[in-house]
A and B are shown apart, each in its own frame.
Chain A
Amino acid sequence: MTHASTLLAYGTFTSDAAARTLELPSGISYFEIENRSTYGTLPGAVVKSWWQNGMTNGTAFQISEAGGTGIHSSVLAAANGITPVNTGTSTIGAAIAVTAVTAATPAVASTATTPAIGDIVRVYDTTGMLQIAGYDFTVTAVNPGVTMTFGYLPAVGFAAAATAGFYRLLPNDLTFYPRKRYITAITAAAQAVVTFSVTHDYVVGSKISFRVPAAFGMTQIDGMTGTVTAISTANNTVTVDINSTAFTAFAFPTSAIAALGVTPAHAVPAGEVATILTSAERDVGYAGLRLGTAVVGANTNVMQWRAYRGETI
């Protein structure tokens, strides 16, 4: 039996040299990507990469533009190539050791295997700093092979640094938008400013409801719902129309109390105030391909790609 392959989708993008994910119909069996900017013009540069179902994830076959010899080179990208992704079936990363987490703002974790900036990591078994064990954090800065920074964790008030621990890389965020988020700080102000551990997706006008257990101090805000009046992308905060001036200060429980069991302080999406809704509850799960840095070209390069589906014979 044979079955002709079908071109499912094609397109272009301008590379920023960073890895990226293309959302595509499921069941891609062949994918190819070409570099318009270097094709026929830059000897030695990778001009085409392709991947076929059955190849090792993260690899790609490539050809480089001919040099003076006029002969193209065949290349195997053994890493940072092309990987199929599916938020419905993806699995969490392997355990990676953390040797320390500073009690500072922001908290900095030491590890020999650092993720990429923007990745979400799940931290656990943080000896001496169990208040963050089980939390997810967005990585905001990286010193490759040395440290990663949890820019949205103000840990300066913690009694001690973590002396050991682990993290795992999350393959994707929760699949429905808008999402619940764990809280790492709430200010006592006329309009409370709330910081989340993972990059939030609330918008101005979002209504969010707070769940703050007694162990976190600011019990007055527990159960209240506020409207987001401003957001800060840089600080990963939202400002809500709740006057928390007279509230008890928000503070993480101690490591010892956390070890006995507490529920994280968190916010859940509750609605939206808007004439046109922009953050309706929706499924943002996807299938597609993760394009690694070996195949996306250099910054400003224009890349063109095609995705096919065919049946295995």
Chain B
Amino acid sequence: MATRGNGLLNSMKFFQFQINKFTEMCKLKRITCPSICFSIFGILCAFSSTNIYQFNKCQAAETNREGARKSEVIVRTIEKSIERGITRPSAILEYGHKPLVLVSNSCRTAVNQDPVLNQAAARMGQSLRETEDQLMRNLLESTASVINCTGGVNGDNPTEITTADCENVSAVLVTSNADYISELIEGENKFGTGPIRDCFVALTSSSLIPNLRLMAGFLHKAQYPKPDSGLTSEYGSVSNIRFLTTSAGSITANASLRGANVFNTFVVGQESYSSIYLDGETAKFIYHPPGWGDDPAELRSTCAWRFAHARVITNDSWLINLRSTL
């Protein structure tokens, strides 16, 4: 048991290592770190107080006399008491994964189960973080305002993504008083590189990579003055946008004028959306050794994950779903 315990401990340390690693890599100002390296949507907003409020999307898009949107955020709250005297947002839902059953015969159990458990733990960790990503992606897909790309030449609506579309989205976000997420990366005297502007971040599907490369002025991450300043999932930059890609990006099937798949690229400003976790309910990894439950012969161990999580768009003027086709 001691050996198994160490295996589990090592796995959890791996998660923590990834978090720390990402925190170091993440140069984004005023944003607390995304969950771990493969979570590009899960920007974390920690509410550590014992009073956690139920709240709705908070938004600011009321116009002033000049027609510009105000930037203040309206947070409407209500407390709901539950047991143990804390308040809890009803919108927080609990997610979990069907336990992964690890089967072994008694000999193998006696020898060493660590490799199997370590592998399973890594896979479960990936599953958990991907689930977080998918939830945030689904929220943005369901509720974010949209702009269709129109600068392309493929004859569809929306068209393929172009630099002009990116400039347009950047202008809309700046006009809405959205703050950039990353700061200027100054140019250096290195062949083939170029400076990177203050940027919003775009979260998009990796299927869009060929189109990204074709955009005028696009700089691949390798062409940054400091390539190591790019995030792991970052592909490159154009205009005031840095693109992070994921295989779990949002795609709306057959939604273009001609019936092609529409790729949703979420261009987000600082603090435009958040993930909210409950203290003590974040990413719980559950391991049961052989003999637990309905396993009289002690042949099966299980591991599973569980977390409670809520997502919120804090200001929908500060993020845009830029829709495009291939």
Contact = CB atoms under 8 A, between A and B. Distances in A.
Contacts of A175: 138, 142
B71 to A, nearest CB: 13
Nearest to B261: A92
A85 B59 CA distance: 34
B143 A176 contact: yes
A134 B255 contact: yes
Interface in B268-316: 294, 299, 310-313, 316
A72 interface: no
B93 interface: yes
A124 B258 contact: yes
A21 B125 CA distance: 32
B100 interface: no
Contacts of B56: 271-272, 277, 279-281
Contact of B147 (A4, A263, A276): A263
Contacts of B15: none
Contact of A130 (B90, B134, B148, B257): B257
A303 B138 CA distance: 34
A207 interface: yes
A70 interface: no
A190 interface: no
Contacts of A283: 93, 135, 138-139, 311
Interface in B69-126: 69, 74, 76, 78, 89-91, 93, 98, 101, 103
Contacts of A271: 56-59, 74, 76
B146 A285 contact: no
A275 B58 contact: no
A280 B257 contact: no
Interface in B14-63: 54-59, 61-63
A262 B55 CA distance: 34
Nearest to B62: A225
Interface of B: 54-59, 61-63, 67, 69, 74, 76, 78, 89-91, 93, 98, 101, 103, 134-135, 138-139, 141-150, 157-159, 253-259, 262, 294, 299, 310-313, 316-317, 323
Interface of A: 1, 3-4, 26-27, 88, 91-92, 95, 122, 124-125, 130, 133-134, 166, 168, 174-180, 207, 209, 211, 223-225, 258-264, 266, 268-277, 279-283, 285, 311
